[in-house]
Amino acid sequence: MASAGSKRPRDPSIQGLKVKFLINIPLKVDSVDQAQKRCRYLLDALIEGFRDEDRKFMKDKNGKDVLEDIAVIFGMNGKHTPELVEDIREHLKNHPTTTNLVEELRGKDQRSLIYFSFVDSDTVDFNFIYSEYFQIVREELGKDRIPPTVMSTGYEFHSGSEFHIASWLDRMVRTALAEVYPLFVYYPEPNFCVLVRDKLGSIEESFIDRRRKNMESAVLISQVKKRNNFKAVFSDRNPIIIIVPDRFSLYGKGLMTGQSALDGMNLAIGANCNQVLAHKDKMKDKIQHEVMNVVKGASTAAVWLGLRHSCTVGIWFWVSGQTVCYHNWAPANGTSEEDCEHAVRSGAVQSGGDQRWISRPETDKLNFICSRY
C-alpha cells in the first residue's frame, strides 16, 4: 500500500512510450528552384511544431542539428510524381523510402507509436501542433490505454487575415460536434494524423477512390475507421496555420467560408463523406425517388440536375459549391476524363429508362430541376 502523500504509480503502458511522426507533404510547384525554396522553408519551420521541452536533436550526416523522432517526405507534381494531390499522397505513402523511414523511426523500440502526419505545403506556422499531439496521445492512453487512430487539431488562417475569425469559429464548431461523434467533422488535409499499425511500414488504406476526387482524407478515413479499436480525436488544442486558399470566400457577415461547418449542408455532406450517417441510404433512396417522379414529366430526354464539372481540378460539384458524395452515373459518364475543349460539361438525369446521370455540354437546351432549402 502506498504511504500517505506518495505519488500515484504511473501506468506502465504509458511510461516511456515514444510518439514519432512521418510527415507527408505534397508540393504543387512550377520549378525545381521553387520546390527547393519551399522545402527549405517548411523544414526550417518544423521546429515551431514543438515546444522547447519537446525538442530533441540529433546530428545528421553533415553534422547539422536536426529534430529527432520525426522524418519528412516531400512529393512534387511533375516528371516523377502524379499531378493530383491524392495521387501524390498515395505515391508518397507507398514509396519504399517511406517504409525505410518508418523502420528507422521505430528502430529497436517496437512499442513506439508512429503517426503519418499529413500537412499541406501552404503551411505558414506549425504552431506547436506536434507537442499538442504528444499531449493528446498521453491523455487518450490514460483513459483506456488505446491511442488515437486518427487525430487532428484542425487549421486556422493567420490572425492578420480577414478570414481568421471565420476559420476560428468553424474550428470551434467542429470541435463541439466531435464531442458528440468524432467522425461528424471533416478531418482536413492541412493537419491530421493516422496511426501506422504495429509491424507495418506504412498505412495500408488508400487515399484514392476515382468516384470521389479531391476528397482524400474522407476516402482514407472511411477505410481506417474499420480497424479494431478505432478512435478518432478532433481537439481544440493549437491548430496549424495555413495560407488562405484562392477558392475561399466569406459570407454570412464574414462568419463563414465555403467549407464552414456552420452551414448545415456542409455538415451533412462531411458526415456522409466519412460514411457515418446511419440513415444515409434511406435518404439517398428518398432523394432519388423524388427526382425520378419529377423528371417523368419532362419534355426533354434529360433534365439538368445542378451539377457542373471543373476542368481545372477535374471534379464534379453542385452549383451550390458543394462536393459530390452521392452519385448515380450511367456507364461511361462522370467517372472518366471529360472533353473540356468545346464546352463546359454539366450533369443531367435521364428522364426515361433507369434515370441515371449523364454528362452533357452546357449548351444543350434541357428542362431543369429547381430546389429551395
Mean pLDDT, rounded, for 256-264: 69
Q: Which of the four pLDDT bands, split at 50, 70 and 90, describes residue 372?
A: low
Using CA atoms, how far apart are residues 333 and 106, in angstroms rounded to an integer? 46
Of 146-155, 167-176, 180-189, 273-282, minimum mean pLDDT range: 273-282
Question: Average pLDDT in the 192-202 region?
Answer: 92
**pLDDT number for residue 5:** 31
Query: If one looks up domain 280-368 in CATH, what number appears?
Result: 3.10.100.10
> Is residue 18 scored above 50 in pLDDT?
yes
85-99, 226-240, 350-364: which is most confident: 226-240
Taking only the tens place, the pLDDT of each residue in 109-122 is 778 899 999 998 88
| Portion of the chain with pLDDT greater than 70, in percent | 80
First to last CA, the chain: 64
Fold exhibited by the domain 19-273? Spore Coat Polysaccharide Biosynthesis Protein SpsA; Chain A (3.90.550)
**pLDDT of amino acid 321:** 61
Confidence of residue 146 (pLDDT cuts 50, 70, 90): very high
For CATH 3.10.100.10, list the domain ranges present in the chain: 280-368
Say yes or no to pLDDT of 135 above 90: yes
Listed in order, the ranges of the chain carrying CATH 3.90.550 are: 19-273
Task: Return the C-alpha cell found at 67.
Answer: 529534430
- 283 has pLDDT over 70: no
Say yes or no to pLDDT of 29 above 80: no
- Checking if the pLDDT of 359 tops 80, the result is yes
Instruction: Grade residue 275 by pLDDT with cuts at 50, 70 and 90.
Output: low
Separation CA 13–CA 17 (nearest Å): 7
pLDDT value of residue 182: 84
In this predicted structure, what is the pLDDT of residue 83? 62
What is the SS3 assignment for 295? helix
Tell me how far apart the alpha carbons of residues 193 and 115 are, in angstroms, rounded to a whole number: 6
Q: Residue 53's pLDDT is what?
A: 92
Q: Who has greater pLDDT, 310 or 167?
A: 167
Q: Give the CA count within 13 Å in the CB-facing half-sphere of 358.
A: 16
Q: Is the dihedral of CA 333, 338, 340, 344 positive or negative?
A: positive
CB-CB contact of 147 with 195 (8 Å) = yes
The C-alpha cell at 47 is: 521546429
- Pairwise CA distance, residues 365 & 350, whole Å: 14
Q: How confident is the model at residue 100 (pLDDT cuts 50, 70, 90)?
A: very high
Residue 321, SS3 per DSSP:
coil
